[in-house]
Chain A
Amino acid sequence: MQTIKKIFAKISLPHIIIVVFFLSMLAAAAPLGLSVRSLIGDTLRRWAMYGILVLAMVPAIQSGIGPNFGISLGIVGGLLGATVSIEMGLTNPWVAIIVAMLIGATIASVLGILYGLLLNKVKGSEMTVSTYVGFSVIAFMNIMWLSLPFSSGTLIWPLAGMGMRNNISIIDSFGHVFNNLFSFCLLGDKTTGIFVPTGLILVFLAACLAMWLFLRSKTGIAMSAAGENPQFTRAAGISGNKMRIIGTAISTSLGAVGIIVYAQSYGFLQLYNAPLMMGFHSVAAILIGGASTKKATIANVIIGAFLFQGMLAVALPVVNKVLPESNLPDVIRIIISNGIILFALSKSKGG
């Protein structure tokens, strides 16, 4: 009885709105003549595809820096890793993606440590600072994408164009490697059934499990404790600043891995301004999952990513059926994601 009461106390109005919206969209799909199976397949794919980027919020929130709007730092690290891996011309997709992740995570963890050092200096205003650090890093990388000396034909504009392409196809390198691993179709064949990207889901769940284990390790517990109560942990001999740096670095490298997993499922690497607002989406997703700016769990990640991405995956075709060629789902996403962030901010102190 107590636990049920607790759960109900946690559910707030925005969450109810989102769940109701999601369910009503799903209910509207079948009468409109849409394939519910393909919608469910889309939801599954987008859930696992964005999942790791949402998971990246957990170490940041737990270590006390709050929702990491500066995840763009990790994202550009991952994009750099992926582009270097393509430039190397690795033909085996598995080698290519692992090289991309390793390079990406390395760059991201170095950036993450520096970023953590900065965030230690600006305690109390992490969110504002990290948002603008994220924006500036994307703007800086725009200059870099134009001028880095890459030469592979898939990366750069053809015919004496300057710099790298906006969308880089990765079908020839590591596109869909996870998606197609052990994939199968439920309740029907390839065109009518639910496509289950088993490999992708496994990778996402494995990352969640790894994070779950980490949070229960000695370092993980120390990190969460430092995030929750810095004074107390200082008395216990734990360096809060060090824990915050660890949390930031892990969050940033997860961002790098996350964008690569995202790209392999999408089939394209998106450079330039494409990742500008991804930080906001990830923050919104974990907040929808029930996290606050002070506390986040793996369950929040799984639920949040599912609701946020599922809502988009279902709303897009449903709305398009009613109002063709509209970008209403996009508008709804802007309203919902920023609304939930505002709601979470109003429940916490400091910016």
Chain B
Amino acid sequence: MPKFRELVGNNKVALLFGLLCIGAIYTAQNPLTFVAAELFTRIGRNGFMVLALLIPVLAGMGLNFGIVIGAIAAQIAVFWTVYWGFTGSEGFLLCLLLSTPIAIFFGWLVGRVFNKMKGAEMIAGLVLGYFADGLYQLFFLYVIGGLIPVHNDRLIISGGIGVKNTIDLAGNLKYSLDNVPMLQIMKIALAVLFLVTLLKAILGVMKKKPPGPRCWIGLGAAPIIYALTYIPALQTFLSSDRLLLLHAVLAALGAVIAWQLWRILYNKILRPKEYSLVRPLVWIGLAAVGFFLTNIRPLEAILLSVRIPVTTYLCIIGLCFFNAALLKTRLGQNMRTVGQSQTVANAAGINVDRTRIIAMIISTLLACWGQLIYLQNIGTFSTYGAHTQVGQYAIAALLVGGASVKKATNKEAVIGVILFHTLFIVAPQAGKELFNNAQLGEYFRVFVAYGVIAVSLAMHAWKRAVSPGPKRIKT
């Protein structure tokens, strides 16, 4: 069974933590419906941030401890948005508009700093995070109210200088993204699709090219689907913002079956060629098994008890696709080359410094958006604490999923978030059951977060010390 051994060997970290999670869940004896509900909340809350770490790894800059700075950019925007009194999705959009330029600027600065410290990006990122935290405190404690006049009893410390410790987001930004209904997303997506196709068609006509069948399908489908949303049953279903996990799973299984059937149809009938039916049939079989599993009582109970915020999950899935798509672009390939060897990249005519700065800008911007998602979900903004542990926990989660300093994928990030946060949910209760002390469980999970980073960094450095020089990286 060499293949099986390879599979285990490649995923040993994730497997180990999987076992640890199962053990902890078993000892904690929390109801599974509770664990599942908490877990899906936390995936929505933290998933985006963990996925923001992938691009610097690709560009060979290691684990980006500097994402703290992205989080800071988000928090500056959140403060002003709350101060100006914007609420709901309007407020969230304003946060996005405000924070994006700040995050891009910060990312550019971080990239500049990292270019001065090549090979020491991780320690530099860590120290830079602390340094930025100091400047952030200076800004929020003394500049706001001190130099910039700000008058608001709810936000400012009673003396008139400095921002309060916590800002309540309930009633202004809480759930401002989570609560966007599916219908609205769909309408926007359809409008974009329609406009883009129309634009393409017009441009085509101007270049004396008649619009092809794809174009007509796009132009026709958008209004038809839009009209369908007015069917009352569909309308009520789509106008909610949370999706029952059961429906999400069924939709996913349905999508798998449909995609595989399309592949069979495409490869066998539309464009016949050599195509093995084993793979698609196995997938369809698995989906069918999954469908039957949803009928098992305890699983069904979990699936019926969890409701996921659709928009937030769509953002996370979108980021997964972005990460994958970037690899296929010229920029993504440049980043990979830079990550493997800066000398080779330089010889190939790639501007190494510029590529690295772009990687940092993207990562910082994504981290900033990730922090916005986190804050709108959690609903209270701890002014001086919300960003401090961001890097630590996101990196620990990524590593738990089996990623390393040199290689990290979407899959590892998602698995890591699931495992790490399961451990976070059940550890205090497990500590209480095992040692009659919930604090112990709490300390244990902090230890896991630090320990997994320490071990992973040490393992990576060890490997690098044994075999120096550029290595071929499997993708």
Tell me how far the C-beta of B117 lies from the nearest C-beta in chain A, rounded to whole angstroms.
Answer: 5
B123 CB, nearest partner CB in chain A, Å: 4
CB–CB B461/A136 < 8 A: no
B461→A124 contact, CB < 8 A: yes
Which residues of A (309-350) have their CB < 8 Å from a CB of B? 323, 326-328, 331-332, 334-335, 338-339, 341-342, 345-346, 348-350
- The answer to whether B462 touches A122 (Cβ under 8 A) is yes
Given contacts A328-B142, A331-B138, A346 and B451 within 8 Å (CB-CB): no
- Closest residue of chain A to B443 (Cβ to Cβ) is A142
User: Given the interface contacts A136-B454, A142-B447, A331-B134, does A147 sit within 8 Å of B440 by beta carbon?
Assistant: yes
Is A146 among interface residues, defined by CB-CB distance under 8 A?
A: yes
- Decide if B142 touches A129 in the complex (CB within 8 Å): no
A335/B120 in contact, CB under 8 A: no
11 new A-B contacts at CB < 8 Å, known A136-B451, A142-B447:
A121-B461, A128-B120, A128-B126, A139-B447, A140-B447, A146-B440, A280-B130, A335-B135, A345-B117, A345-B124, A348-B120
- Per-residue CB contact flags for chain B residues 89-133 toward chain A (1 = under 8 Å, else 0) read 000000000000000000000000100111111111011101101
Interface: A123 (CB within 8 A): yes
Complex Cα gap A118–B458 (Å): 8
- Complexed CA–CA distance, A339 and B439 (Å): 34
Interface presence of B259 (CB below 8 A): no
B295 within 8 A of A: no
In the complex, which residues 393-442 of chain B have their Cβ closer than 8 Å to any Cβ of chain A? Answer: 435-437, 439-440
Proximity bits, A103-134, B CB within 8 Å = 1, else 0 = 00000000000000010011111011101110
Taking a contact as CB atoms under 8 Å apart, the answer to whether B440 and A128 are in contact is no
CB contacts (< 8 Å) of B436 on chain A: these are 162
The residue from A125, A280, A334, A346 contacting B137, defined by CB atoms under 8 A apart:
A334
**Are A146 and B133 neighbours in the complex by a CB distance under 8 Å?**
no
**Residue A351 CB within 8 A of the other chain:** yes
Q: Are B120 and A349 in contact (CB under 8 A)?
A: yes
The reply to whether B447 and A132 contact each other, CB–CB distance below 8 Å, is: no
Complex interface: chain B residues within 8 A of A346 (CB): 113, 116-117, 124
Interchain nearest-CB distance for A142 vs B (Å)? 4
Q: Among the listed A129, A139, A328, A332, which residue makes an inter-chain contact with B461, where contact means beta carbons less than 8 Å apart?
A: A129
For B, the interface residue count at a CB cutoff of 8 angstroms equals: 45
List the A side residues contacting B437 at CB < 8 Å: 146, 162-163
17 contacts between A and B (CB under 8 A): A122-B457, A122-B461, A125-B461, A128-B457, A129-B458, A132-B450, A135-B453, A136-B447, A139-B450, A140-B447, A147-B440, A162-B436, A334-B130, A342-B124, A342-B127, A345-B120, A346-B124
Among B119-166, those with CB < 8 Å from A are 119-124, 126-128, 130-131, 133-135, 137-138, 141-142, 161-162
Q: Does A19 count as interface, using CB distance less than 8 angstroms?
A: no
Nearest CB in chain B to that of A334: its residue: B134
A221 CB–B CB distance under 8 Å? no
Judge whether B444 is part of the interface by a CB distance below 8 angstroms: yes
CA distance A250 to B475 in the complex (A): 44
Complex CA–CA separation, A103 to B161 (angstroms): 49
* Interface residues, chain A, with chain B CB atoms under 8 Å away: 118, 121-125, 127-129, 131-133, 135-136, 138-140, 142-143, 146-147, 162-163, 280, 323, 326-328, 331-332, 334-335, 338-339, 341-342, 345-346, 348-351
Q: How far is the CA of A331 from the CA of B146 in the complex (A)?
A: 15
CB nearest neighbor in A for B141: A331
Q: A143-B440, A147-B440, A338-B131 are in contact. Are A129 and B457 (CB under 8 A)?
A: yes
Contact flag A349-B119 (CB < 8 Å), given A135-B454, A139-B450, A147-B440: yes
Asked if B117 contacts A143 (CB within 8 A), the reply is no
- Is the CB–CB distance between B447 and A128 below 8 Å? no
B58 CB to nearest chain A CB (Å): 19
CB distance from A94 to the nearest CB of B (A): 35
B464 at the interface (CB under 8 A from A): yes
What B residues does A348 contact at CB under 8 A?
Answer: 120
Distance A339 CA – B128 CA, assembled complex (angstroms): 8
Query: Quick check: B138 and A335 within 8 Å, CB to CB?
Result: yes
Q: Is B117 within 8 A of A146, CB to CB?
A: no
Are B461 and A146 within 8 A (Cβ)?
Answer: no
A323 CB to closest chain B CB, in angstroms? 8
Question: Which of B118, B126, B141, B450 is close to A326, meaning CB atoms less than 8 Å apart?
Answer: B141
Q: Mark B446-475, 1 if CB is under 8 A from A, else 0.
A: 110111011001101110110000000000
Q: How far is the CB of A110 from chain B (nearest CB, A)?
A: 19
Q: Note all chain A residues with C-beta closer than 8 A to B453.
A: 132, 135-136
Q: Determine whether the beta carbon of A335 is less than 8 Å from that of B131.
A: yes
Query: In the complex, which residue of chain A has the Cβ closest to the Cβ of B126?
Result: A131
Task: Find chain B residues with CB under 8 A from A127 CB.
Answer: 120, 123
Give me the 5 closest cross-chain CB pairs, A-B, nearest first: A351-B120, A122-B461, A334-B134, A335-B134, A132-B454
Known: A147-B435, A334-B130. A131 touches B447 (CB 8 A): no
Q: Taking CB as reference atom, which chain A residue is nearest B62? A: A128
List the B residue with the shortest CB-CB distance to A272: B443
Interface pair B142/A143, CB less than 8 Å apart: no
Whether the Cβ atoms of B119 and A351 lie closer than 8 Å is yes
Instruction: List chain A residues, Cβ under 8 A from B458.
Output: 118, 121-122, 129, 133
Most chain A Cβ neighbours within 10 Å, of B120, B137, B460, B464: B120
- Cα distance A139–B123 when bound, in Å? 19
Q: Is the CB of B454 within 8 A of A143?
A: no
Residues in chain B near residue A140, CB distance under 8 A: 447, 451
Chain B residues closer than 8 Å to A132, beta-carbon distance: 450, 453-454, 457
A54 → chain B, closest Cβ, in Å?
A: 18
Shortest beta-carbon distance from B153 to chain A in Å? 19
Checking B123, B137, B141 against A128 with a beta-carbon cut-off of 8 angstroms, the contacting residue is B123
Decide: A143 and B447 in contact? CB cutoff 8 A: yes
Decide yes or no: A139 and B443 within 8 Å by CB, A125-B464, A128-B122 being known contacts.
yes
Give complex CA distance A136, B142 in Å: 33
B119: chain A residues at CB < 8 Å are: 124, 349-351
Contact indicator per residue, chain B 179-203, by CB within 8 Å of chain A (1) or not (0): 0000000000000000000000000
Q: Contact: A345 with B123, CB < 8 Å?
A: yes
Expressed in whole angstroms, the Cα–Cα distance for A96 and B137 within the complex equals 41
A265: shortest Cβ distance to chain B, in Å? 26
Q: Are A146 and B443 in contact (CB under 8 A)?
A: yes
Q: What B residues does A331 contact at CB under 8 A?
A: 134, 137-138, 141-142
Instruction: Give chain B nearest CB distance to A248 CB in angstroms.
Output: 14
| Chain B residues within an 8 Å CB radius of A129 | 454, 457-458, 461
Instruction: Give the docked Cα–Cα distance between A351 and B117 (Å).
Output: 9
Closest residue of chain B to A327 (Cβ to Cβ) is: B141
Interface centre among A127, A332, A350, A351 (most CB of B within 10 A): A351
Residues of B close to A147: CB separation below 8 A:
435, 440
